[in-house]
Amino acid sequence: MTVGLFLPCYVNQFYPQVGVASLELLEKLGCDVVYPLQQTCCGQPMANSGYEHLSSATDELFMRNFHEFDYIVSPSGSCALHIKHHLHGKDHEASAKVRASMYELTEFLTDVLKVEHLDAKFPHKVGLHQGCHGQRGLMLSQMSELVAKPFSKLEKLLGMVNGIELVDLDRKDECCGFGGTFCVMEEAVSAKMGKDRVSDHTRNGASFITGADMSCLMHLEGILKRQKSAVEVKHIAEILNAG
Amino acid sequence: MQSSRDNHSTLAERFNKDEARVSWHDQTLWWIRQKRDKAAWSLGEEWEGLRSQASQIKAHTLSNLSGYLEEFEANAIANGAIVHWAADAKEHNEIVHKILQDNKVTQLVKSKSMLTEECHLNPYLETHGIDVVDTDLGERIVQLANEAPSHIVLPCIHWKKEEIGELFHKHLATPAGNADPSFLTNAARIHLRDKFLTRRVAITGVNFAIAETGEFVVCTNEGNADMGAHLSDVHIACMGIEKLIPLRRHLGVFLRLLARSATGQPVTTYSSHFRKPRQGQQLHIVLVDNGRSQQLAKEDFRNSLKCIRCGACFNTCPVYRRSGGHSYHTAVAGPIGSILAPNLDMKQYADLPFASTLCGSCTNVCPVKIDIHDQLYKWRQVLTKEGYSPKTKTVAMKTMAATLSKPGLFSFAGKWARRIMRIAPWLVNNKMNPWYKQRNMPAAPKQSFTEWYKTNRNKDKK
């Protein structure tokens, strides 16, 4: 199976290890992974800031890079959701195909590859941060607001990792406050939300915080480092590929 | 009251100066969110079905609003009510004032009505020499403090009981230092009882108006609407035109959702039906548009008129809980206020749709399934296109869009940004960078993933 790997722009620049883990993990699971070198960004930073009309050039670039793939996989719930909902290239039919071919990594592992076993080891206490776009947008797991049966694609995958211990949080799916440009435009509330999330994880004994979106984790990491905390962040791909 | 010139971010920053208080505010509202969850789960599978039903009844009503309004008006008149139509807040206030003048009244009691807050009725009447006493306990507290409510269901949720003790000591002569909630409530009851007995006019809000019967229902926990209305010679009920439902039996759906969503109660303590004035009493119903038909005409934002003002989106909103209701500088704060307010004034409320992380929790708790976070996203696009975005932001976004659409430029910029962050971290680690204020910057690696890939995987590919 050939898979086009799409990395969020800031992951490419600041968290290359997340790209490596995603690539290796998909390869281990038998995928032929292609990483189009001309890729940049999904366009979400402009669109969420109210400048969707400025994202047509990135939409076209995304189309050029990914229109040939039947499966496009990204280790980001937020970017995957943006492509699925807001990619509008000039070629409407091709855009619809690209939108339908877009998968967030854990969604691809559970729904397409139907992964039941992983050869991974991570003997640590881990807190799972639910990125809102992955959770409420892509429905990677049940949401605490809805009256419905519980499920979690992320927890299912993490459960296959040897030695891992997931900690229970007081608020299992509250937003971390990153929110794209919100993190600087609404600095006070954003930072307070991040601090509250971090303390939920540390209070409940997590040594690592993981999630399917590096943007949330970058925000939480910034707070942890400022607090000189020993707690680290790891993208879920790094844990599923660990060992 | 806050100056309306300050935007949400500035007001939120001010609120966050006292971090312990923000944590307290957040915990208090989160506790209500948890009560709401428990109440929803108590209905099991029925809950999500009720939400769908309510959403569909409202969708149907909004699609046929003019017909239902006329049906309601005809039935209300047949019941003996006097029906008034107000195109906007100004007309609404003038109609109420005229009724007071006609009855030669200068004092009145008012139960909670967010519509009258939206229309700024209290300040209007006060400038005309009318004394208004809010009889909802929370509203009375903020009224005594000369503040606006910070929450549509819990107007004084931002006040601590000790502060209320002080306020009552000052205004109601309760003993200094007494902050016992039962004692203070009783003091308020005695204070309000006198007002109920001496005022001849009572204003109430309306939670649901029923086209089929011409009656309306007012929901309170304190019974203050009933006290006011039943003791009055003149009852004025003010309602937005979206409060309508077609049939009385639809009430069962909404009453079950309203209190569960609002406070986690199975039903409000009082759900009072008003149909006919008692003999000798006047019953006025003021139907107010104030931008609603304009919102109804906007396909993307029409659904916001389904709102039954339960406040569940406030309690779940991680931003609201940490910025406080006054940071929204509008009568209806929170996520729903942020999609309603720009319809009334795009310039004044251009900041509100950005006061959100688009986490989507509001949409999930909404008992009438308003796609709140999608509408926040859509308002952002509308406001930007209409030119209500700061110029500096536009320049930054254009630069970003240009960089991200050119792969070569993106790689070049990324490489240099990382290099600068390694060589001269003080260039980003300073006061000019809002990120750095409370967060460290990520480490800047030597290689981007693209560079790593070219060396490690791409040797034989182009």
Contacts of A225 in chain B (CB under 8 A): 439-440
Estimate to the nearest angstrom the gap between the alpha carbon of A128 and the chain centroid.
Answer: 12
Tally of CB atoms within 10 A around B275: 16
From the list A14, A34, A39, the residue facing B444 with the nearest CB is A14
**Residue among A25, A33, A145 with most chain B CBs within 10 A, to mutate:** A145
d(CA B86, CA B83): 10
CB of B204 closer than 8 Å to CB of B216:
no
Contacts of B364 in chain A (CB under 8 A): 136, 143, 145-146
- Looking at B55-139, which runs of residues are DSSP E strands? 82-86, 107-110, 131-134
Among candidate residues A110, A127, A164, A169, the one with its CA nearest the CA of residue A144? A169
Q: Which chain B residue has its CA at the smallest distance from A215's CA?
A: B442
CB of B361 closer than 8 Å to CB of A135:
no
Sorted by sequence, the CB contacts under 8 Å of residue A229 that are 6+ apart come out as: A198, A202
Mark yes or no for CB contact A196/B26 under 8 Å: yes
From the list A61, A133, A226, the residue facing B439 with the nearest CB is A226
Amino acid identity for residue B180 in this structure: D
Mark yes or no for CB contact A50/B354 under 8 Å: yes
Q: Which two tokens stand for residue B386?
A: 């209409």
**Residue among A6, A13, A149 with most chain B CBs within 10 A, to mutate:** A13
Among candidate residues B224, B215, B163, the one with its CA nearest the CA of residue B191? B224
Q: What is the pLDDT of residue B1?
A: 42
d(CA B374, CA B10): 24
d(CA B35, CA B48): 17
Tally of CB atoms within 10 A around A142: 17
φ, ψ dihedrals at A234, nearest 5°: -140, 130
B215-220 and B270-274 strand pairing: antiparallel
Mark yes or no for CB contact A147/B41 under 8 Å: yes
Place of tokens 């971390």: A176
d(CA B422, CA B441): 11
Using N-to-C axis directions, what is the helix angle for B391-404 and B407-423, rounded to 10°? 110
d(CA B71, CA B241): 13
Q: What is the pLDDT of residue B462?
A: 45
d(CA B213, CA B266): 25
Contacts of A51 in chain B (CB under 8 A): 384, 389, 394, 397, 401
Using N-to-C axis directions, what is the helix angle for B161-172 and B181-198, rounded to 10°? 40
From the list B37, B363, B383, the residue facing A50 with the nearest CB is B383
d(CA A241, CA A119): 8
d(CA B61, CA B409): 53
Q: How much is the CA Rg of chain B, to the nearest whole Å? A: 26
Q: What is the pLDDT of residue B457?
A: 85
Sorted by sequence, the CB contacts under 8 Å of residue B258 that are 6+ apart come out as: B207, B219, B267, B268, B308, B310, B367
Q: Residue B430, exposed/middle/buried by CB under 10 A (0-12, 13-18, 19+)? A: exposed
B429 vs A: CB within 8 A: no
**What is the secondary structure of B300-342 as a DSSP string?**
TTGGGGG-----HHHHH-TTHHHH-GGGG-SSS-HHHHHHHHH
Mark yes or no for CB contact B322/A192 under 8 Å: yes
Q: How far is A17 from chain B (nearest CA, A)?
A: 7
Domain ranges of chain A: 2-112, 125-240
pLDDT by residue (tens digit) across B386-440? 999 999 999 999 999 999 999 999 999 999 999 999 999 999 999 999 999 999 9
Residues of chain B falling short of pLDDT 70: 1-4, 459-462
**Residue among A9, A147, A217, A231 with most chain B CBs within 10 A, to mutate:** A147
A11 vs B: CB within 8 A: yes
Q: Which two tokens stand for residue B80?
A: 């003996």
The CA angle B425-B431-B434, to the nearest 5 degrees, is 95
Q: How far is B392 from chain A (nearest CA, A)?
A: 12
A235 pLDDT higher than 90: yes
What's chain A's length in residues?
Answer: 243
What's chain B's length in residues?
Answer: 462
Among candidate residues B76, B75, B77, B95, the one with its CA nearest the CA of residue B85? B95
CB of A201 closer than 8 Å to CB of A127:
yes
d(CA B216, CA A61): 56
CB of B97 closer than 8 Å to CB of B230:
no
B50 vs A: CB within 8 A: no
Q: Which chain A residue has its CA at the smallest distance from B31's CA?
A: A171
Sorted by sequence, the CB contacts under 8 Å of residue B143 that are 6+ apart come out as: B122, B133, B134
CB of A49 closer than 8 Å to CB of B380:
yes
d(CA B317, CA A208): 26
ipTM of the complex: 0.97
A204 vs B: CB within 8 A: no
Using N-to-C axis directions, what is the helix angle for A187-203 and B19-42, rounded to 10°? 70
pLDDT by residue (tens digit) across B177-208? 999 999 999 999 999 999 999 999 999 999 99
Tell me what the pLDDT averaged over chain A comes to: 97
Q: Which fold has domain B43-290?
A: Rossmann fold (3.40.50)
A196 vs B: CB within 8 A: yes
Question: B 300-319 residues with CB below 8 A of A?
Answer: 316, 318-319
Contacts of B440 in chain A (CB under 8 A): 221-222, 225-226
d(CA B309, CA A82): 30
Q: How far is A96 from chain B (nearest CA, A)?
A: 20
Question: A 58-117 residues with CB below 8 A of B?
Answer: 58, 60-61
Contacts of B401 in chain A (CB under 8 A): 46, 51, 54-55, 57-58
From the list B22, B401, B418, the residue facing A13 with the nearest CB is B418
In CATH, what class is A125-240?
Answer: alpha beta
Mark yes or no for CB contact B404/A177 under 8 Å: no
Mean pLDDT of A205-227: 98
Q: What is the pLDDT of residue B5?
A: 78
From the list B8, B439, B444, the residue facing A219 with the nearest CB is B439
Question: A 29-58 residues with CB below 8 A of B?
Answer: 34-35, 37-41, 43, 45-55, 57-58
Q: How far is B206 from chain A (nearest CA, A)?
A: 27
Size of interface A-B (CB pairs under 8 A): 220
Place of tokens 């009882």: B193
Q: Residue A241 has what DSSP assignment?
A: T
**What is the secondary structure of B352-406 as a DSSP string?**
GGGS-----HHHHH-TT---HHHHHHHHHHHHHHTT-S-HHHHHHHHHHHHHHT-
**What is the secondary structure of B162-213 as a DSSP string?**
HHHHHHHHHHH-PPTT---HHHHHHHHHHHHHHHHHH-SEEEE--SEEETTT
B215-220 and B208-210 strand pairing: antiparallel
The CA angle B174-B175-B181, to the nearest 5 degrees, is 65
The CA angle B385-B390-B393, to the nearest 5 degrees, is 90
Contacts of B435 in chain A (CB under 8 A): 183-184, 187, 222
Domain ranges of chain B: 43-290, 399-456
Using N-to-C axis directions, what is the helix angle for B334-344 and B372-385, rounded to 10°? 30
Among candidate residues B273, B373, B270, the one with its CA nearest the CA of residue B316? B373
Estimate to the nearest angstrom the gap between the alpha carbon of A192 and the chain centroid.
Answer: 22
Please report, for residues A76, A78, A172, the alpha-carbon distance to residue A142 in angstroms, rounded to integers and kept in the order given: 18, 17, 10
Mark yes or no for CB contact A145/B12 under 8 Å: no
Amino acid identity for residue A83 in this structure: I
